């Protein structure tokens, strides 16, 4: 499989290393500043990588969104977080002419966490819910795309929800519909996501901890391996 990388930060460096260990080939990288030195050919547009079988993106909306306006038909694996709604709308449009896979978190364990949450929320309908995520001190967006996805699952299963990001000025008790959303940043934390269900005299916690960024890179590679044999459509872990 010949892979084009969109962005060449820490995550796609891992994708390159792990993909080559699996016998795949990196045909080049699409980067904002092609004057820098990279170990692969650089491109300004996706359409310039004519021999690639698939593109894997770990970048940012500023790089990705303009690239999606180009004319191309290359299968896409997209992991960029931030401006989620805009990106998904564009990818759904592109999926009419190429297979497209999107996930805010490339870990299959996180996908399993969302499925566990889908089962737990109806069972614990009278419990208060708090969502907490923790990441390294270089992550720029908060809350994480994964935490937003977890909130979306809860919102779809409860009659009324209100996200609460800050309580330090609140002077009233917690309302039942509130979903607390908390982000922590520090050190080299790879990624932690916790769902707390708090009831009367008992609590239940569901937690996913990433122990290496390799899980995200391997998840993207695995998605790409399956995607290149798919028909044109918009895919997630639910239907890939």
Q: Domain holding 178: CATH number?
A: 3.30.360.10
Strand partners, 55: 4, 76
Range of the domain at 136: 108-210
Q: Return the exposure string of 170-196: e unless at least 16 CB atoms fall within 10 Å of the residue's CB, then b.
A: eeeeeeeebbbbbbeeeeebbbbbbbb
pLDDT for 131: 98
Asked if the model's pLDDT at residue 231 lies above 90, the reply is yes
Cα angle for residues 15, 140, 40 (degrees, 5° grid):
30
* 219 and 206 fall within a common domain: no
Phi, psi of 217, rounded to the nearest 5 degrees: -65, -45
The DSSP annotation for 84-116 comes to HHHHHHHHHHHTTTSEEEE-S---HHHHHHHHH
Catalytic site residue from 135, 193, 208, 213: 135
Answer yes or no: are the C-beta atoms of 63 and 209 closer than 8 Å: no
13-50 pLDDT, tens digit per residue, is: 999 999 999 999 999 999 987 778 899 999 999 999 99
Q: pTM for this structure?
A: 0.82
Question: Residue 126: its pLDDT value, please?
Answer: 95
Q: Is 156 labeled as ligand-binding?
A: no
Same domain for 129 and 84: no
Residue 208 marked as a ligand binder: no
Please check whether residues 187 and 115 belong to one and the same domain.
Answer: yes
Q: For position 115, what pLDDT does the model report?
A: 96
240 within some domain: no
188 is in an annotated binding site: no
Catalytic residue chosen out of the listed positions 84, 90, 139, 230: 139
Is 182 designated active site? no
- Is 182 annotated for ligand binding? no
> Percentage of residues in the chain with pLDDT exceeding 70?
100
Mean pLDDT throughout 177-189? 97
As a whole number of angstroms, the distance between CA 181 and CA 212 comes to 24
Whether 139 is catalytic: yes
**Residue 217, marked binder:** no
**CA distance linking residue 173 with residue 98, whole number of Å:** 50
Number of domains in the chain: 2
Q: Does 47 map to a domain?
A: yes
226 labeled binding residue: no
Q: Which of 141, 64, 48, 158 is nearest to 102 (CA)?
A: 64
Please check the confidence at residue 222 and state whether its pLDDT lies above 90. Answer: yes
Residue 185 marked in a binding site: no
Place of tokens 């290149």: 228
My answer on whether 100 and 112 are in the same domain is no
Residues 17, 93 within the same domain: yes
Instruction: Give a yes or no: residue 85 inside a domain.
Output: yes
Q: Considering only CA atoms, which of 171, 127, 129, 125 is closest in space to residue 150?
A: 129
């Amino acid at each position: 499989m010949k892979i084009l990388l969109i962005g060449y930060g820490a995550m796609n460096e891992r994708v390159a290393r792990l993909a080559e260990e699996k016998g795949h080939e990196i045909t080049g990288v699409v980067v904002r500043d092609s004057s820098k030195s990279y170990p692969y050919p650089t491109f300004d547009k996706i359409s310039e990588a004519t021999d690639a079988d698939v593109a894997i993106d770990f970048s940012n909306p500023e790089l990705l969104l303009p690239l999606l306006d180009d004319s191309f038909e290359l299968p896409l694996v997209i992991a960029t977080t931030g401006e989620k709604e805009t990106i998904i709308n564009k990818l759904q449009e592109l999926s009419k002419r190429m297979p497209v896979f999107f996930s805010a978190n490339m870990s299959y364990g996180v996908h399993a966490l969302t499925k566990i949450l889908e089962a737990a929320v109806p069972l614990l309908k009278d419990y208060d819910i708090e969502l907490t995520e923790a990441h390294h001190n270089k992550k720029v967006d908060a809350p994480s795309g994964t935490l937003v996805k977890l909130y979306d699952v809860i919102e779809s299963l409860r009659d009324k929800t209100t996200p609460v990001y800050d309580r330090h000025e609140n002077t009233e008790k917690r309302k039942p519909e509130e979903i607390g959303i908390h982000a922590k940043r520090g050190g080299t934390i790879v990624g932690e996501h916790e769902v707390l269900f708090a009831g009367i005299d008992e609590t239940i916690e569901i937690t996913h901890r990433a122990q290496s960024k390799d899980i995200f890179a391997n998840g993207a590679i695995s998605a790409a391996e399956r995607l290149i044999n798919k028909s044109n459509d918009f895919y997630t872990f639910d239907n890939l």
